Structure 1
Amino acid sequence: MIRLEGVTYSYSKQPLIQEMDLSFEKGKITTIIGPNGCGKSTVLKLASRLLHPNKGKVFLEEKEIGGMKRKEFAQKVSVLLQSGYTPDMAVEDAVMSGRYPHQSPISISSAEDKRLTEYAMEVTCCQSLRKKSLRQLSGGERQRVFLAMVLAQDTPVIFLDEPTTYLDINVSYEIMELISRLNKELGKTIVLVLHDLNLALNYSDRLAVMEKGRVAAYDEASNSEVHRCISDIFKVDIRQMTENGRSYYYSFKI
């Protein structure tokens, strides 16, 4: 559905991504993992049009994204990045702002805008927070609201950059369960960057393992070659366990 072809990107003449070929499958959760500074977030920004490659092309289905109009792209792809800034606005207004790609500059919110805003808050369990300011919320509550904004945007593709950063373990799993629901129940194609190997192993359909600006391995999350690559790069061992009939992966330092 989304693919990078021969993409190269440099910052201040420093090469970050070199001749990258990578595709993200429709209807799957694909997670990009790798050491700090390997280019994970850069790939996400290149695929979501926030950065432009020095060389190569990025396609959404069969369209080169550089040639798409801003609103056309925003109707198909929504992006949630890390940010240290939290606006002082009510939760309901923040979620409604996700509808902007579907509105004209002079239009008021339509019945469909209101329906999808309400639906997004319901799915993400934000309804009780609607009148609160984003600045009053805990980290987990705020992240649920940001996901509601993305859901209200109603795009088939969602990009998420480190959606569990700074959250405690329980809240991180709650956020990943919600992301999994968006994929399984609503059919969203989700591409995300994670630093937590255990979350990546257990919630992804496919893993793209990066090292020094290149893709070192890319396959299903259960693939042994992917696990071997993760072990080599992170110096960890990966084991599988079964509990209550469900299999889990966990990693630990060798």
Structure 2
Amino acid sequence: MSLLVQNLSISLNRREILKNVAFTLPETGLFFLLGPNGAGKSTLIRAVCGLIPLDSGEIAWNGKSLSRLSPRERARQMSYLPQNIQPTDMTAEEFAMLGAASRLKWGEVPGEAHRRQARSALEALGILHLAGRQMDRLSGGERQLAALAQALVQNAPLLLLDEPTASLDVKRQQDFLQILQNLVYREQKTALLSVHDPNLALSYGDGAFVLRDGKTAYIPASPDFGQRLLQALKPLYGENFTLSSDGYFYWKHERRL
């Protein structure tokens, strides 16, 4: 299964955000969406989810236009994790159980089987001990993991994550991405996530899409992944943006003593 985006253009508040974006998301793997603030990363992910109307273009999943799918059908094909998981008095277990909604019959409510699925998902992510805690009492990172557990229960082949590491400290970023990477490979899923730090793409990515001037460039993981990514990002971040000899992006800066 693959995601195909063709000639996608989107304007918000009379400002053109994306212009004739076209790309194919490879099957199975963890792929990163990079670009500066305002480049359209969140807009692109929300458009794929059907949350933003298109000016023109088409998005297809497994050869079928997403515009022809009902919200229920779309939810069976893709899971969306927004940047900010809103606090609620629902427990982490109850929140994870919501992932079963797209597979329920009309009028049906999640049952014991779905509760077991939710607990299994929480356990797989190492947060079963939070099952009975209310979401509004969890940290930002814990809520992100609870949302990922919901996606596990939803069991859609495509995961779309909008800046999932934005509110996490460095250690929790690494933990979250390691868990996500293991999930993607174990379950043979495809994940596209937007981030600001290109070093995360270097460490965990099977490829990266760079958004620039409303368009995308794709760089697949390869022995020269870092150098190719540097060439794509340098026009966005300036001449001082560089890659260290041990493969780490940073900005050259003269320290004043």
> TM-score higher than 0.5 here?
yes
What residue number does 1:133 align with? Answer: 134
More strand by share: 1
CA contact (8 A) 2:119 2:131 kept: no
Q: TM-score, normalised by structure 2?
A: 0.91
Identity %: 26
What residue number does 2:230 align with? Answer: 227
Q: 2: CA distance between counterparts of 1:113 and 1:84? A: 21
Mapped pair 1:250 → 2:248: yes
Worse-superposed segment, 115-124 or 154-163: 115-124
Q: 2: CA distance between counterparts of 1:111 and 1:187? A: 26
Q: How many pairs were matched up?
A: 246
Any residues of structure 2 matched to 1:1-254 within 5 Å, and which? 1-83=2-84, 85-110=86-111, 112-215=113-216, 217-222=217-222, 223=225, 224-235=227-238, 236-239=241-244, 241=246, 249-254=247-252
CA contact (8 A) 2:9 2:21 kept: yes
Per the TM alignment, residue 227 of structure 1 is displaced from its structure 2 partner at its CA by: 2.4
Instruction: Give the aligned residue type for 1:214.
Output: K
Q: 1: CA distance between counterparts of 2:18 and 2:117? A: 37
What residue number does 1:245 align with? Answer: none
Instruction: Give the aligned residue type for 2:220.
Output: E
CA contact (8 A) 1:37 1:212 kept: no
Per the TM alignment, residue 151 of structure 1 is displaced from its structure 2 partner at its CA by: 1.1
Instruction: Give the aligned residue type for 2:127.
Output: C
Q: 2: CA distance between counterparts of 1:59 and 1:128? A: 39
Per the TM alignment, residue 174 of structure 1 is displaced from its structure 2 partner at its CA by: 0.5
Gaps of 5+ in 1: 242-248
| 1:159-185 superposed Cα distances (whole Å, 9 cap, x missing partner) | 000111121110111111111111111
Q: 2: CA distance between counterparts of 1:52 and 1:28? A: 27
CA contact (8 A) 2:101 2:110 kept: no
Per the TM alignment, residue 111 of structure 1 is displaced from its structure 2 partner at its CA by: 5.1
Structure 2 CA distance for partners of 1:97 and 1:240, relative to 1, 3 Å: farther
Instruction: Give the aligned residue type for 1:229.
Output: A
Q: 1: CA distance between counterparts of 2:192 and 2:161? A: 6
CA contact (8 A) 1:231 1:238 kept: no
Q: 2: CA distance between counterparts of 1:85 and 1:48? A: 18
CA contact (8 A) 2:46 2:52 kept: yes
Gaps of 5+ in 2: 253-257
Worse-superposed segment, 104-113 or 11-20: 104-113
Per the TM alignment, residue 84 of structure 1 is displaced from its structure 2 partner at its CA by: 6.2
Structure 2 CA distance for partners of 1:204 and 1:118, relative to 1, 3 Å: same
Q: 2: CA distance between counterparts of 1:166 and 1:115? A: 29
Worse-superposed segment, 136-145 or 38-47: 136-145
Instruction: Give the aligned residue type for 1:250.
Output: Y
Per the TM alignment, residue 240 of structure 1 is displaced from its structure 2 partner at its CA by: 5.2
Q: 1: CA distance between counterparts of 2:116 and 2:85? A: 30
CA RMSD after TM alignment: 1.5
Q: 2: CA distance between counterparts of 1:188 and 1:240? A: 33
